[in-house]
């Protein structure tokens, strides 16, 4: 008899249901439902203060006071087994200024994959990560002597070290020139399409939204839309994602007003 029980449909990389986060006196994420599909680039976009970094911290498991359901790569967010499967780059690059690029990476590689036996593998991973972010010619420069864009690429290289399944990048292209931004987006696409990685990338530059497979548009702790750039433009009759976003904001404000007046 034929066996119809083929592989189960692949679960998303991130699945959130009623995700709520309280910071200090404020509820900064309000009952969010969303998924992040595997092997794709999902852009997290929205104005400053809308909750992008908070959402990312919840996904990587460093955010306190998270309620609701949040599953990451099949385990609850923050589960210890996820540590080596997720690469996270925070908004403020964290590298040691008094170490060279290669020494910085050697240090983090040793934490990730300790022991003498792993030395060759570490060397290979470090060399690959430096090449990925295009810093091979600067491998022996002190991190403290690099430009802002170069330093942020060292942070990105650290996140790439363990070839993580999920990369969470908080505004990785802020302050970079157009050429570097283009090169980094090329790398992000290579990571997704050739290495099968899942990328969750925040930005408040709307033109970067066009380069994502999917978008989560946020505003004031909520999700305005979870769709592809094409579908968003079509649905709102807009030429750009930026115009689509503004259309959705106006719609949300109008809906809020209606609620007020019918109360
Ligand atoms: N420790 C805290 N206590 C209270 N409120 C906080 C705290 N940290 C952040 N917030 C608030 O949470 C909200 C979301 O912040 P978050 O850093 O997630 O926004 P963001 O979308 O990443 O902004 P940006 O684009 O500026 O990085 C903001 O309104 C901020 O004021
Ligand atoms: Mg932020």
Q: Consecutive 10-residue runs of the chain (263 residues): their mean pLDDT? A: 50 96 96 97 95 97 96 96 93 90 96 90 95 95 91 92 94 86 91 96 89 96 95 95 93 81 60
Q: How far is the CA of 166 from the centre of ligand 1 (A)?
A: 23
Q: How far is the CA of 54 from the centre of ligand 2 (A)?
A: 7
> How far from 194 is each of 12, 55, 87, 162, 223, CA to CA, in Å?
18, 27, 17, 16, 29
The count of C-alpha atoms lying within 13 angstroms of the C-alpha of 169, restricted to the half-sphere facing its C-beta, is 31
* Nearest atom, ligand 1, residue 218 CA: 21
Distances (CA, A) of 187 to 33, 44, 197, 207, 235: 29, 18, 11, 17, 30
The whole-number pLDDT of residue 207 equals 84
> Are 33 and 18 a contacting pair, CB within 8 Å?
yes
Measured in Å, residue 175 CA sits from the centre of ligand 2 at: 14
Q: Select from 29, 43, 49 the residue to mutate for testing ligand 1; criterion: most ligand atoms less than 8 Å from CB.
A: 49
Write the residue with the smallest CA distance to atom 27 of ligand 1. 48
Q: Which atom of ligand 1 is nearest to the CA of 51?
A: 18
Closest Cα to atom 30, ligand 1: which residue?
A: 49
Buried b (16+ CB within 10 A) or exposed e, 230-241: eebbeebebeeb
Mutate to test the pocket of ligand 1, among 22, 50, 172 (most ligand atoms within 8 A of CB): 50
Ligand 1, CB within 6 Å, residue ranges: 23-24, 26, 28, 48-54, 91, 204
Report the first-to-last Cα separation within the chain, whole angstroms: 61
Residue 236 structure tokens: 């709102």
Residue 260: what pLDDT? 62
pLDDT value of residue 196 = 95
């Amino acid at each position: 008899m034929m066996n119809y029980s083929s592989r189960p449909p692949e679960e998303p990389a991130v699945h959130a249901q009623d995700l709520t986060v309280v910071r200090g006196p404020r509820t900064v994420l309000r009952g969010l439902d969303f998924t992040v599909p595997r092997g794709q680039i999902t852009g997290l976009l929205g104005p400053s203060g809308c909750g992008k970094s908070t959402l990312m911290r919840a996904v990587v498991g460093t955010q306190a006071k998270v309620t609701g359901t949040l599953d990451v790569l099949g385990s609850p967010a923050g589960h210890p087994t996820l540590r080596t499967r997720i690469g996270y780059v925070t908004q403020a690059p964290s590298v040691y200024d008094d170490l060279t690029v290669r020494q910085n990476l050697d240090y983090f590689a040793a934490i990730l994959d300790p022991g003498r036996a792993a030395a060759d593998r570490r060397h290979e991973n470090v060399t690959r990560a430096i090449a990925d972010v295009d810093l091979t010619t600067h491998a022996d420069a002190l991190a403290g002597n690099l430009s802002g864009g170069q330093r942020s690429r060292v942070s990105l290289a650290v996140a790439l070290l363990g070839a993580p399944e999920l990369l969470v990048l908080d505004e990785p292209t802020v302050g970079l020139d157009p050429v570097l931004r283009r090169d980094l987006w090329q790398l992000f696409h290579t990571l997704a399409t050739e290495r099968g990685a899942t990328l969750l990338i925040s930005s408040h530059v709307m033109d970067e939204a066009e380069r994502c497979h999917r978008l989560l548009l946020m505003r004031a702790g909520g999700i305005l839309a979870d769709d592809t750039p094409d579908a968003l433009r079509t649905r709102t009759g807009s030429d750009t994602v930026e115009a689509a976003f503004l259309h959705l904001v106006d719609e949300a404000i109008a809906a809020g007003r209606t609620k007020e007046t019918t109360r």
